[in-house]
Structure formats: C-alpha cells, structure tokens
C-alpha cells in the first residue's frame, strides 16, 4: 500500500492537470492530454482501496458505525461482522464520456484534419512508420498482409493520441472533476453494506470488468462505429502514400 499517497496529494495532482489544460499557451497540447490520461490510468487514481489513506478513512467511519454493537446491512437487513465500504458512485470512464458527448457529424468532419495532423506531426502513414507500428504491436517484422494492414488501421484509430485529438479539453476536465469527487469521498457517494450485497452490486463489473458494459468505449470497442470510420481512413491514407 502506498504510504506517501493520500487525498491531498491526489487532489493536488489533479489540480495541476486542470491548470495545464487551462493554459492557453500550452505547447504540445495533445501530448499533454495524452500524458494526463496516462497519469489517470495509474492505480492510485483507480484503486483507492489499495492505499493506506482509504483504509484509514474506512476504519474511522466504521468505528463510529459499530460502536453500539454489530453492523446491520442497510440493503438486506442482515448482521455483518465485516462490513464493506461500497462506492455507490464512480467516475464515468473517459472513453464512455466521449461516446456520449461527441457528435457523429463533428467526428466525421475532423477525420481529414486528424490525418493531416498525423502526417505533419508524427510522420504517419509512411512505410517506416507502418513498420514501427507493426513491430510495436506484434513484435514481428512487417509482412504487409491484409490482416496486418487492418490491424495497423485499428491501432492508429484506437490510440490514446486519437482519443485526445477527437475530445476537447472541457471533456477531459469534466472527467478529472469526476475523479476528484471520487477521491473526496462525499458521504453521498459511499455506504457500508455486507460483503454479499457488495458483491451483488458489483456483479456486472466482476463479470465484464467494466462499469458500463453495454456502452461502447470510444474508438476501442468492436461495436464503436467511429473506430471503423477512422481505421478505414488511416488505411486508405497509408495505401495512398506507399
């Protein structure tokens, strides 16, 4: 469990991230946004229960709750010797926010600009870049098969760089503010329940590994039509350049 990490340090990191995004003179904005998303994917922001500060918070609240005797689960009414601190509210995954907020027409209109940006800034869609990408994702040398080219297009479309290009700063700030709320542990966002009820409430997450299993994750899921649009555009540009 991390000893140097607590609510204060986490919230400070998030405040710094928002300050960067609000800087109108920020250089390499897309790279900065990608680095912020990488930071937010770290365990300290996703698995609060792995850190001492969360356990100290839980134990303090639990002591006052069980002071008069055994704990009674508010969901099923059963007694429990080991109640679970259950988060009843979670931040929406950023790719789900993107799916909900980004307009199809706006997305389509941005694809040509994204292709040109990739060519100018990343030297993309050249044979050298293709070979580097294929080696990165397969650890083998390029063979130029139809399946491999298809994989190249999907990789380009599902990258974090594509994600930050097609999402605006305000959406990322909205996501950061949701993570702040999660870390602040407002009484409205959690409760103590018995272990059985906690498992039942989290059954869909346990089964699928996702908070919203029925919603496409932007640019990454099979059922995300925008991923196919962008992937096809990337493949077409690569073929046209080589």
At residue 232, the pLDDT reads: 97
Query: Which of 155, 152, 150, 171 is CA-nearest to residue 107?
Result: 171
Q: What is the DSSP string of 74-85?
A: TTT--EESS-EE
At residue 3, the pLDDT reads: 55
pTM beyond 0.85: the answer is yes
At residue 2, the pLDDT reads: 43
Per residue of the chain (242 residues), what is the pLDDT tens digit?
445 899 999 999 999 999 999 999 998 999 999 999 999 999 999 999 999 999 999 999 998 887 767 889 999 999 988 899 999 999 999 999 999 999 999 999 999 999 999 999 999 999 999 999 999 999 999 999 999 999 999 999 999 999 999 999 999 999 999 999 999 999 999 999 999 999 999 999 999 999 999 999 999 999 999 999 999 999 999 999 87
210-241 b/e (C-beta count within 10 Å ≥ 16 → b): eebeebbbbbbbeebebbebbbebbbebbeee
At residue 1, the pLDDT reads: 44
**Domain residue ranges of the chain, discontinuous segments joined by +:** 7-241
Query: Which of 16, 22, 50 is CA-nearest to residue 36?
Result: 16
Using N-to-C axis directions, what is the helix angle for 146-158 and 225-241, rounded to 10°? Answer: 120
At residue 106, the pLDDT reads: 94
Cα–Cα dist 21/15, whole Å? 10
85: β partners = 192
Distance of CA 171 to the CA centre of its chain: 12
At residue 235, the pLDDT reads: 97
């Amino acid at each position: 469990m991390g000893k140097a990490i607590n609510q204060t340090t986490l919230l400070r990191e998030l405040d710094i991230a928002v300050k960067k995004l609000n800087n109108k003179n920020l250089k390499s904005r897309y790279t900065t946004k990608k680095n912020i998303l990488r930071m937010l994917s770290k365990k300290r922001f996703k698995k609060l229960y792995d850190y001492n500060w969360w356990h100290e918070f839980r134990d303090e609240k639990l002591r006052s709750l069980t002071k008069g005797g055994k704990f009674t689960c508010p969901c099923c009414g059963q007694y429990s010797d080991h109640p679970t601190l259950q988060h009843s509210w979670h931040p929406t995954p950023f790719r789900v926010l993107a799916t909900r907020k980004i307009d199809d027409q706006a997305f389509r209109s941005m694809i040509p600009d994204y292709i040109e940006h990739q060519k100018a800034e990343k030297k993309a869609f050249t044979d050298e870049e293709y070979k580097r990408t294929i080696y990165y994702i397969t650890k083998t040398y390029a063979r130029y098969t139809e399946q491999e080219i298809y994989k190249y297009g999907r990789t380009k479309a599902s990258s974090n760089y594509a994600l930050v290009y097609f999402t605006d700063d305000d959406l990322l700030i909205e996501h950061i503010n949701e993570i702040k709320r999660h870390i602040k542990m407002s009484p409205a966002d959690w409760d103590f329940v018995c272990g059985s009820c906690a498992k039942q409430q989290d059954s869909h997450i346990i089964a699928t590994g996702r908070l919203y299993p029925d919603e496409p994750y932007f640019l990454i899921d099979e059922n995300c039509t925008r991923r196919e649009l962008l992937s096809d555009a990337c493949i077409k540009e690569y073929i046209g350049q080589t």
